[in-house]
Amino acid sequence: MTRFRKVLPIGGIIAWIAICSPAINSCVHQPFALPDSLIQPDPTICFDRDVLPIFLSNCAMSGCHDASSGENGYVLDSYENIIKKGIVKGNPAGSRIFQSVTHAKGVESMPAVGPGLPDVSINMLRRWIMAGATDSTSGCNVSCDTTNFSYSGAIKPLMETYCIGCHYTSPSNFANYEDVKNAAVTGDIIPDISHDPGYQPMPQNGAKLLDCQITQVKKWVAAGAPNN
Ligand code: HEC
C-alpha cells in the first residue's frame, strides 16, 4: 500500500505527460461550470422572444435538429430540449453549442449550411449562457415599440433573428437590404408574417411574430421601405 502511495503520483505525472505533451493545448478538460452564486442573471433577456427564435430559425429544421431528426442527439426546439446537451450554464466558451456557432477549433461548425449566425445572435447566445441559460421571462415585459420602424433599428434585427437562418440566398437573402425591400414591396412578406389565409406562414416552423413586430414591418413598408 505504502509503495503504491509513493508510486501513484509519479505514474500520474508520467501519464499526464504522455497524454498531454504532444499537443499540450489539446488536453481535454471538463467544461468549468460557474457556481450558481457567481452567475449574474440578466433581467433584460426573454428566452421565448430573444433566444428560442434563434434556435427555431437556424437549427430546429427537418434533417437537422427538430424532434424527429435530432442530429447527434441535439433536439433544439424547446427550452427543455435545448439545455439538455451542449450548454454549460455560465460558461459560453465551454458550451458545445456555443463553440459550434463560433467555429471553435475541433468542433463541427454550425449551422451546417448558410453563412453562419449573425453577430447579433451570437452575442445574444453568449449573454444568455453567461446569465445562467435560464428560461428567463423577466425581460419579456419590455415592450416592442411600434414608433421604431427604421430599417437598422427594427427591420434588420428582426430579419437576423427570425428569417436569415433560412433566407440567406439570393433573391431572398434577407441579410441584404435590397432583397428585404423587394420582398416587402413587391412580394409577400406582410401577408406571410401576418399568416393571412392562402399565404406561406413565416417564420416557417416558428411562432408567429408579435403584432407589434408585424406593425413595425407594415409601417416601414408604408414609409417606402427606406434604408434608414
Ligand atoms: C425555418 C426556415 C424558414 C424561416 C425561419 C423563414 N422562412 Fe420564409 N420560407 C422558407 C421556405 C422553405 C420558403 C419557400 C416556401 C415554398 O415556396 O414552399 C419560404 C418562403 C418565404 C417567402 C415567399 C413565400 C411566398 O409566399 O411566395 C417569404 C416572403 C418569406 N419566406 C418570408 C420570411 C420572413 C419574413 C421570415 C422571417 C420573419 C421567414 N420567411 C422565415 C423557410 C423559412
Q: Residue 187: CB within 6 Å of ligand 1?
A: yes
Q: Is the minimum distance from the CB of 165 to ligand 1 under 6 angstroms? A: yes
Separation of alpha carbons 130 and 39, rounded Å: 7
Is pLDDT of 4 > 80? no
Residue nearest to atom 37 of ligand 1 (CA): 163
* CA–CA separation, 76 and 3 (whole Å): 52
pLDDT, position 20: 44
Q: Is 199 left (phi over 0), alpha (psi -120 to 50) or beta?
A: beta
The residue whose CA is least distant from atom 23 of ligand 1 is: 188
Ligand 1: which atom is nearest the Cα of residue 187?
29
**Ligand 1 proximity of 202 Cβ (cutoff 6 Å):** yes
139-195 pLDDT, tens digit per residue, is 887 668 999 999 999 999 999 888 998 899 989 999 999 999 999 999 899 999 999
Average pLDDT over the chain, rounded to an integer:
86
Each residue of 100-141: pLDDT tens digit? 999 999 999 999 998 899 998 999 999 999 999 999 988 887
- CA triple 153-158-162, angle to 5 deg: 165
Indicate if the pLDDT at residue 14 is higher than 90. no
Residue 143, pLDDT score: 67
Supply the pLDDT for residue 144: 83
Higher pLDDT pick, 10 / 71: 71
In this prediction, residue 204 carries a pLDDT of 86
Question: What is the 52 CA–ligand 1 centroid distance (Å)?
Answer: 18
CB 43 within 8 A of CB 141: no
Cα separation, 98 vs 129, in Å, equals 9
pLDDT for res 94:
94
Answer yes or no: are the C-beta atoms of 88 and 94 closer than 8 Å: yes
